[in-house]
């Protein structure tokens, strides 16, 4: 597995597609004969493991047939990643040469299934494909749940204004947005979430839904943010699965509760007065954040904290200096004439 790096990519040629088709047909035949497991889908990793191990016990596979077997099982493993985890077939060329690979477009992970099979034949580790697939899946989940240092929270007088604010934030360089709608029907929220997801996908940006667990599920959002009065994160997790889940905190008790609920990040605030919320918790300020972060260190609660609430550009360095992971903003970007310039300024302060 490799993250995206300097290389050339191209689509498979007609000849390569023909090779892939022949190799997959070979793999299906081997699975039928040697897996001894009944299944309608031939590229399940456990079936491939069983077939691969049993084939390696035979004495007919030695050279020159090992090249054919490596190609067959390699393409089969690649097809499993394509079908199960959303990879795409590519031709990959780097300093090591040219190889057929599969790539996960959103995360940039590139896998070389044929090389993986060749490596296992040399090491005689024949049952590896299920573990390999699980490792890839875990890495995808880990990448998908990486917590960015800047989250934009949508705002506007109506739904179109919310979508416009999300589009503008994405164009400005923000890589994580939260759709936060209040006093709308479920149908309106879901329709807006689907539209927001399309915008975010176009810009390769993560989308989090505020409050509504079902909307997050149905819109296939990347995350869900829950307020203090909302469903518990553990209950929400049963519904939405392994996406980013964050929770709002204002007190030490809130932080302890969210840690017990195993949230992926904590939205801690407000930093100062903000008119984006009708019911505002007590303002924390720098001193309030500092005290709570120190208590988190002592308690060994290691969860990314996003400061939220009325944050301006001149506040960011002070917030970073006391150990806050990142910030969530709304008006700071919505009101900016040059959103890219403001995003760049925010990122420069957050990473330094």
- The model scores a pTM over 0.85: no
Task: Give the Cα separation of 67 and 71 in Å (integer).
Answer: 6
Task: Give the Cα separation of 301 and 282 in Å (integer).
Answer: 22
Tokens encoding 5 = 């790096």
CA-closest candidate to residue 217, choices 249, 239, 195, 246: 239
Quickly tell me which residue has 């035979």 as its tokens: 58
Per-residue pLDDT of the chain (352 residues; tens, 9 = 90+): 666 566 889 999 999 999 999 999 999 999 999 998 777 899 999 999 999 999 999 988 777 788 899 999 999 999 999 999 999 999 998 777 789 999 998 788 999 999 999 999 999 999 999 999 999 998 988 888 899 999 999 999 999 999 999 999 999 999 999 999 999 999 999 999 999 999 999 999 999 999 999 999 999 999 999 999 889 999 999 999 999 999 999 999 999 999 999 999 999 999 986 655 555 568 999 999 999 999 999 999 999 999 999 999 999 999 999 999 999 999 999 999 999 999 999 999 998 6
Task: Give the Cα separation of 241 and 249 in Å (integer).
Answer: 22
Largest CA distance in the chain: 75
Report yes or no: 136 and 130 within 8 Å, Cβ to Cβ: no
pLDDT tens digit sequence for 89-107:
999 987 777 899 999 987 8
Tally of CB atoms within 10 A around 160: 11
DSSP string, 85-113: H--EEEEEEETTEEEEEEE-TTT--EE-H
Based on C-alpha coordinates, what's the Rg of the chain?
Answer: 24
Q: Please tell me the predicted confidence (pLDDT) of residue 142.
A: 82
CATH T-level fold of 8-143 = 1.20.120
Task: Give the Cα separation of 218 and 2 in Å (integer).
Answer: 31
Task: Give the Cα separation of 247 and 264 in Å (integer).
Answer: 8
User: How do 88-94 and 97-103 pair as beta strands?
Assistant: antiparallel
> 179 φ, ψ to 5°?
-85, 115
CATH T-level fold of 146-351 = TIM Barrel (3.20.20)
CA-closest candidate to residue 244, choices 145, 152, 343: 145
> 239 φ, ψ to 5°?
-90, -50
Domain boundaries along the sequence of the chain: 8-143, 146-351
CA-closest candidate to residue 309, choices 263, 270, 281: 270
- Beta pairing partners, 245: 224
Tokens encoding 156 = 């506007």
DSSP 2: B
């Amino acid at each position: 597995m490799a993250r995206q790096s300097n290389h050339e990519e191209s689509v498979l040629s007609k000849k390569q597609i023909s090779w892939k088709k022949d190799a997959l047909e070979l793999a299906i035949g081997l699975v039928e004969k040697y897996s001894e497991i009944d299944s309608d889908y031939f590229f399940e990793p456990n079936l491939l493991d069983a077939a691969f191990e049993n084939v390696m016990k035979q004495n007919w596979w030695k050279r020159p047939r090992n090249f054919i077997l490596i190609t067959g099982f390699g393409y089969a493993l690649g097809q499993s990643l394509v079908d199960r985890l959303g990879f795409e077939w590519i031709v990959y060329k780097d300093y090591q040469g040219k190889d057929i690979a599969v790539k996960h477009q959103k995360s940039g992970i590139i896998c070389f299934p044929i090389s993986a099979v060749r490596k296992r034949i040399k090491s005689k580790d024949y049952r590896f494909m299920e573990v390999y697939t699980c490792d890839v899946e875990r890495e995808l989940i880990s990448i998908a749940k990486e917590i960015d240092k800047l989250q934009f929270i949508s705002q506007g007088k109506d739904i179109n204004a919310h979508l416009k604010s999300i589009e503008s934030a994405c164009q400005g360089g923000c890589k994580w947005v939260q759709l936060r709608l209040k006093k709308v029907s479920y149908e309106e929220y879901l329709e807006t979430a689907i539209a927001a997801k399309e915008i975010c996908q176009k810009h390769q940006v993560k989308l989090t839904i505020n409050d509504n667990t079902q909307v997050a599920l149905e819109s296939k959002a990347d995350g869900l943010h829950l307020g203090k009065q909302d469903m518990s994160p553990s209950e929400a997790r049963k519904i939405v699965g392994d996406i980013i889940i964050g929770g709002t905190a204002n007190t030490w008790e809130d932080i302890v509760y969210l840690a017990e609920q195993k949230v992926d990040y904590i939205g801690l605030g407000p930093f100062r007065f903000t008119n984006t919320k009708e019911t505002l918790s007590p303002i924390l300020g720098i001193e309030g954040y500092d005290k709570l972060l120190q208590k988190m260190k002592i308690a060994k609660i290691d969860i990314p904290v996003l400061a939220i609430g009325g944050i301006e550009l001149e506040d960011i360095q002070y917030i970073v200096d006391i150990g806050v992971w990142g910030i969530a903003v709304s008006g700071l970007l919505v009101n900016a004439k040059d959103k890219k310039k403001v995003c760049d300024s925010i990122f420069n302060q957050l990473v330094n």
